[in-house]
Structure 1
């Protein structure tokens, strides 16, 4: 198993009561906090099932979207990089995450440029490169600054493009192993995954594209049987997790954790 799918640690954060005020591209209903917490508990239990240490941080009521911790940092084996979220209401979340990463990592860097914006949901780390999707939340200046920070850590970064109308690059794709990407056809049609083995998301199940490979398990949202069957046929060990409430805030499996093995 590669470093890009094997992790000793994960950081999560309990959803706050203010989650009902969270950002959303389209209003499809107000999240139910109790149900979201139940789904979150199942998610954490599944991560722990792999033997990983899972740190659950307390809720941050001042930041409605703070349950989506992935956007606050990029965690590589060699060090962590604090992001600069593109949504103004989320800028403070990265600062809240920084001390927790400094307690675990010997090296923690930061995106600091006033014109730079990068969110972790636009970053896919594979064995060979870091793919960063330019989006409404991640701009060219942010990608350029991130490239300058990751190069000394030994990582090659490649800028790609998130499809129009899609929040984050990883809304539409996931890394399943060192060579395999699960992707919507609207994203893979761009050719950004040339050289990787692709598993296509079936039509009408695009919301299943955001899964995570965490050690020996693939966590995917409930309710997408065609995608589940394709992953099972490909030999993956699947865990389906309720995601109805996070989906109301454009959230998925990867958004809910930072996954890493600190050195």
Structure 2
């Protein structure tokens, strides 16, 4: 039986747009180099495809500078997909753009619709037993409550947790390595939100690599974090490093760049 949290048959990505230089950023550390970002993105897609998954690459959306970060637009579960309602007003249209692509793959697609509800996929960590959702500047209590209601008929359990102060998304500071194991920053794991899991903390000073993804047999992580990479190799994981320098200028990481799922027939 496939592990729903890290075994996938499909992924959806979107090409970076020329307008990405106008993307949102918490701190300005430079303008992304589009050509380098495109090269990194191509490497990312190749890594996903190397596992045997079908990768759908959508066309760039020039009207939405941040649209390469498709994960924020939806939550994809085996039973169905939930279209998010992003907390950044400039990104609301991205979710609507994603909806028809998910309806083509899923028989069951629902939406977060409450005017006071905000929730982004970057705040959602799916495990084998629960869905953890971090309250953040982009995801509020109303959004979490609505998601809980939307997925309850599918037998899903949602647990609200809290994103550390000053951190954009919950998954900025954590990622799933396998059914029992979470990669996390110390500042997040110290909160106790992962008490039911084995935790591997990233090396001090390498907090920026906490956002990785387990995709079938690979752990994709950003390049340039050797101590954390070596600890994961020692733990037995198959690591694939991807350049992330340009996405990082827009607060983006490995999970942000794809929707990963196995829809039920």
Question: Cα offset for 1:60?
Answer: 0.2
- 1:113-262 equivalences under 5 Å are 113-262=114-263
Separation (CA, whole Å) in 2 of partners of 1:161 and 1:154: 23
TM-score (norm 1): 1.00
Question: Cα offset for 1:2?
Answer: 1.3
Separation (CA, whole Å) in 2 of partners of 1:184 and 1:150: 28
Asked whether 1:66 is paired with 2:61, we answer no
Question: Cα offset for 1:114?
Answer: 0.3
Deviations 1:86-140 (A, max 9, x none): 0000000000000000000010000000000000000000001000000000000
Equivalences, count:
263
Separation (CA, whole Å) in 1 of partners of 2:25 and 2:4: 32
Question: Cα offset for 1:195?
Answer: 1.2
- 1:82-101 equivalences under 5 Å are 82-101=83-102
Deviations 1:6-40 (A, max 9, x none): 00000000000000000000000000000000000
- Helix, strand or coil: the match of 2:143? helix
Aligned to 2:111: 110
Separation (CA, whole Å) in 2 of partners of 1:221 and 1:114: 36
Separation (CA, whole Å) in 2 of partners of 1:231 and 1:62: 39
Deviations 1:157-183 (A, max 9, x none): 000000000000000000000000000
Question: Cα offset for 1:196?
Answer: 0.2
TM-score (norm 2): 0.99
Separation (CA, whole Å) in 1 of partners of 2:6 and 2:33: 31
Question: Cα offset for 1:150?
Answer: 1.1
Where does structure 1 differ by over 6 angstroms across 4 or more consecutive aligned residues?
none
Separation (CA, whole Å) in 2 of partners of 1:111 and 1:205: 34
Question: Cα offset for 1:3?
Answer: 1.2
Structure 2: stretches of 5+ with no match in the other structure: none
Separation (CA, whole Å) in 2 of partners of 1:131 and 1:47: 24
